[in-house]
């Protein structure tokens, strides 16, 4: 059943507004003779403005769940609701609108378009959204400045380091002021220090603009900045933890 | 119950509203395609050469008989080429289409991740088709224009070198040759569109997750 938020005068009254809802989502991959069950009935609710980490070991179904939530692939069974709209019911135009305006994506492999400069990469979704050059060029430059790349806007991805490319990807994901940012292993290809910078950048953006951040990761550094953590294992949600309830102690090695 | 993104009171107009909200202006599409073409210059060049050769052959076939006949008799003679010529030209065009399709298939498969990414940014299927078609069209236009000119030139030279030719530049059937060149350019561009449709269409249909997962 869809979770409905009663809206009166544009404000939710009494009920909680869930921006992402999954109801018993299943995904199976058909590999000829073998049926691989990547997701085996995942149900979750994510509130607006939360910073969520979906954590689990390799092969647990994090990326598959990421694809389901982001509308990048279709579940075999179950439903995904984004702002109470069942995304399986959307036609290609509405789905494209969703991906352009409502959701921003960040990938482990950055996925920048190699033939375009940083500015052009960031402004591409703005072009799809219908902005004209007079509007999108300054906006793109401003976004790149916000992530700390104001002086490299005309560099191509090959001329940028991994951390810088991921920053461009983050700027691109925020290009059309989306409500949700989905990140699939954002720190997977980055070293420790750069990873920390990226994580803190995401947290700052989450706090400042109230965008919901959903990150599928196995990087434990994410735990500290998340509001809630969904532990996933073998295609099912094993545990949901709130940050406040986690005890973390950091040790050090003395030689 | 599922609710559409746009409220029901706007239902009749909602399709139009949705359509208008994700768009790729033609100018931007041209910019992006030309950029991709120039970056992959070597591959684009080879594809254009394939078109150049096939269209050049067609141009030669169309014009050579006319040129030789005109120069021999010293006056403008308009005689259509024999059927056999058409067959030979048709085969060479077929080979060119196959070549173009092959090159474009390769080009498209190398860029699956790029296509998947664009779809994540909100690109509709037809944006992807449009971008690939524009690239193919540009390569085709350049190749066939060059091919038309080169083929006609070779026909002229062949005519001039004929021992029995008496006429000079003035006797050449310029109008017909000009028309033939236009036919060639049109066929060349048509060829590249045909050759690129299937690869581009297939590329556009992949779901983004699948497209980005593909390792070629």
Q: Compute the distance between CA of residue B28 and CA of residue B123 in angstroms, rounded to an integer.
A: 13
Mean pLDDT, chain A, whole residue set: 86
Least confident of B9-13, B68-72, B75-79, B126-130: B9-13
Q: What residues in B contact A73, CB-CB < 8 Å?
A: 207-210
For residue A170, what pLDDT is reported? 93
Is B121 within 8 Å of chain A by CB? yes
Residues A18, A212, A90: CA angle, nearest 5 degrees: 60
What would the pLDDT profile of A200-228 be if each residue is shown by its tens digit?
999 999 999 899 999 998 888 888 889 99
Candidate from A72, A107, A112 with C-beta closest to B207? A72
Minimum CA–CA partner of A113 in chain B? B114
Predicted complex ipTM exceeds 0.85: no
Least confident of A246-255, B9-18, B196-205: B9-18
Q: What residues in A contact B116, CB-CB < 8 Å?
A: 111
pLDDT tier for residue B15 given thresholds of 50, 70 and 90:
very low
Is B27 within 8 Å of chain A by CB? no
A184 or A15: whose pLDDT is higher? A184
* Residue A96 Cα, gap to closest chain B Cα (Å): 4
Phi, psi of A240 (to 5 degrees): -120, 125
Is the confidence at residue B9, as pLDDT, over 50?
Answer: no
Q: Do A97 and B35 touch (CB under 8 A)?
A: no
For residue B8, what pLDDT is reported? 41
What would the pLDDT profile of A154-166 be if each residue is shown by its tens digit?
999 999 999 999 9
What share of chain B has pLDDT > 70, as a percent?
81
For residue B212, what pLDDT is reported? 74
Strand A180-184 relative to strand A212-217, pairing = parallel
Is the confidence at residue A172, as pLDDT, over 90?
Answer: yes
Least confident of A64-68, A142-146, A249-253: A249-253
What region does A219 belong to: left with phi over 0, alpha with psi -120 to 50, or beta?
beta
DSSP result, chain A: -PPP--EETTEE-SSPPEEEEEEEEEEEEEETTEEEEEEEEEEEEEETT-EEEEE--TTSSHHHHHHHHTTSS--SEEEEEETTEEGGG--HHHHHHIIIIIEEEE-TT----TTS-HHHHHHHHHHHTT--HHHHHHHHHHHHHHTT-GGGTT--GGGS-HHHHHHHHHHHHTTT--SEEEEESTTTTS-HHHHHHHHHHHHHHHHHH--EEEEEE--GGGGGG-SEEEEEETTEEEEEEEGGG----------
For residue A141, what pLDDT is reported? 94
* Residue A30 Cα, gap to closest chain B Cα (Å): 13
Q: What residues in A contact B208, CB-CB < 8 Å?
A: 72-73, 99
For residue A1, what pLDDT is reported? 43
Mean pLDDT, to the nearest integer, of A64-77?
A: 89
Is the confidence at residue B11, as pLDDT, over 80?
Answer: no
Mean pLDDT, chain B, whole residue set: 79
Candidate from B36, B125, B210 with C-beta closest to A115? B36
Is B165 within 8 Å of chain A by CB? no
Q: What per-residue string of b and e applies to A195-204 under the rule 16 or more CB within 10 Å gives b?
A: bbbbbebbbe
Give me the residue spans of the domains in chain B. Answer: 37-213
Q: Do A99 and B114 touch (CB under 8 A)?
A: no
Q: Compute the distance between CA of residue A228 and CA of residue B211 in angstroms, rounded to an integer.
A: 31
Is B170 within 8 Å of chain A by CB? no
Is the confidence at residue B166, as pLDDT, over 60?
Answer: yes
State the CB neighbour count (10 A cutoff) for residue B110.
12
Least confident of A177-186, A196-205, B20-29: B20-29
Q: Do A111 and B116 touch (CB under 8 A)?
A: yes
Mean pLDDT, to the nearest integer, of A122-147?
A: 92
Q: Do A73 and B4 touch (CB under 8 A)?
A: no
Is the confidence at residue A3, as pLDDT, over 60?
Answer: no
Q: Structural domain tally of chain A?
A: 1
Can you give the CATH number for the domain in which A175 is found?
3.40.50.300
pLDDT tier for residue B78 given thresholds of 50, 70 and 90:
low
Mean pLDDT, to the nearest integer, of B2-12?
A: 43
Q: What residues in B contact A84, CB-CB < 8 Å?
A: 3
Residue A39 falls inside a structural domain? no
Q: Compute the distance between CA of residue B12 and CA of residue B6 in angstroms, rounded to an integer.
A: 10
The answer to whether B212 and B112 are in contact (CB under 8 A) is yes
Least confident of A157-171, A225-239, B70-84, B191-205: B70-84
What would the pLDDT profile of A83-116 be if each residue is shown by its tens digit?
888 998 888 888 889 999 999 999 988 899 988 9
pTM of the model: 0.80
pLDDT tier for residue B75 given thresholds of 50, 70 and 90:
low
For residue A9, what pLDDT is reported? 44
What share of chain A has pLDDT > 90, as a percent?
39
What would the pLDDT profile of A28-42 be if each residue is shown by its tens digit?
888 888 888 888 889
- Domain holding A111, by residue range, is 51-60+90-244
Residue in the structure block whose two tokens are 């300054």: A138
Q: Which two tokens stand for residue A68?
A: 């389901």
Residue A73 falls inside a structural domain? no
């Amino acid at each position: 059943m869809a979770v409905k938020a009663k809206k009166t005068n544009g404000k939710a009254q009494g009920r909680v507004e869930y921006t992402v809802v999954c109801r018993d989502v299943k995904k199976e991959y058909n590999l000829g003779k073998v049926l691989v069950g990547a997701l085996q009935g995942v149900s979750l609710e994510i509130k607006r403005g939360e910073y969520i980490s979906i954590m689990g070991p390799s092969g647990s179904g994090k990326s598959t769940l990421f694809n389901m939530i982001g509308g990048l692939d279709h579940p075999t069974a179950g439903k995904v609701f984004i702002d109470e709209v069942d995304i399986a019911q959307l036609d290609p135009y509405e789905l494209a609108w969703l991906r352009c305006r409502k959701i921003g994506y960040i990938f482990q492999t950055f996925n920048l378009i190699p033939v375009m400069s940083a500015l052009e990469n960031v402004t591409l979704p703005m072009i799809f959204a219908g902005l004209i050059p007079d509007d999108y060029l300054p906006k793109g430059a401003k976004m790149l400045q916000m992530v700390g790349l104001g002086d490299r806007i005309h560099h191509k991805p090959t001329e940028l380091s991994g951390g810088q490319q991921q920053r461009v990807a983050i700027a691109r994901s925020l290009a059309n002021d989306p409500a949700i940012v989905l990140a699939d292993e954002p720190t997977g290809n980055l070293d420790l220090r750069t990873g920390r910078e990226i994580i803190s950048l995401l947290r700052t953006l989450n706090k400042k603009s109230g965008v919901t951040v959903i990150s599928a990761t196995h990087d434990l550094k994410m735990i500290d900045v998340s509001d809630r953590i969904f532990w996933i294992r073998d295609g099912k949600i094993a545990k949901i933890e709130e940050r406040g309830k986690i005890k973390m102690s950091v040790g050090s090695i003395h030689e | 119950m599922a609710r559409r993104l746009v409220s029901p009171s706007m239902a009749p107009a909602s399709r139009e509203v949705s359509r208008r909200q994700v768009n790729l202006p033609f100018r931007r599409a041209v910019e992006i395609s030309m950029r991709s073409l120039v970056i992959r210059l070597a591959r684009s060049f080879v594809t254009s050469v394939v078109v150049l050769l096939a269209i050049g052959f067609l141009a030669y076939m169309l014009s050579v008989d006319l040129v030789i006949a005109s120069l021999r008799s010293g006056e403008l003679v308009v005689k259509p080429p024999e059927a056999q010529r058409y067959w030979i030209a048709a085969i060479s065009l077929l080979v060119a289409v196959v070549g173009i399709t092959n090159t474009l298939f390769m080009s498209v498969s190398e860029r699956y991740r790029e296509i998947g990414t664009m779809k994540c940014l909100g690109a509709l299927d037809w944006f992807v088709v449009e971008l690939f078609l524009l690239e193919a069209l540009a390569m085709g236009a350049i190749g066939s224009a060059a091919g038309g000119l080169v083929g006609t030139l070779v026909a002229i030279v062949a005519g001039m070198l004929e021992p029995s030719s008496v006429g000079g530049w003035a006797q050449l059937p310029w109008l017909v040759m000009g028309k033939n060149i236009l036919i060639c350019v049109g066929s060349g561009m048509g060829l590249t569109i045909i050759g690129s449709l299937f690869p581009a269409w297939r590329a556009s249909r992949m779901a983004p997750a699948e497209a980005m997962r593909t390792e070629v």
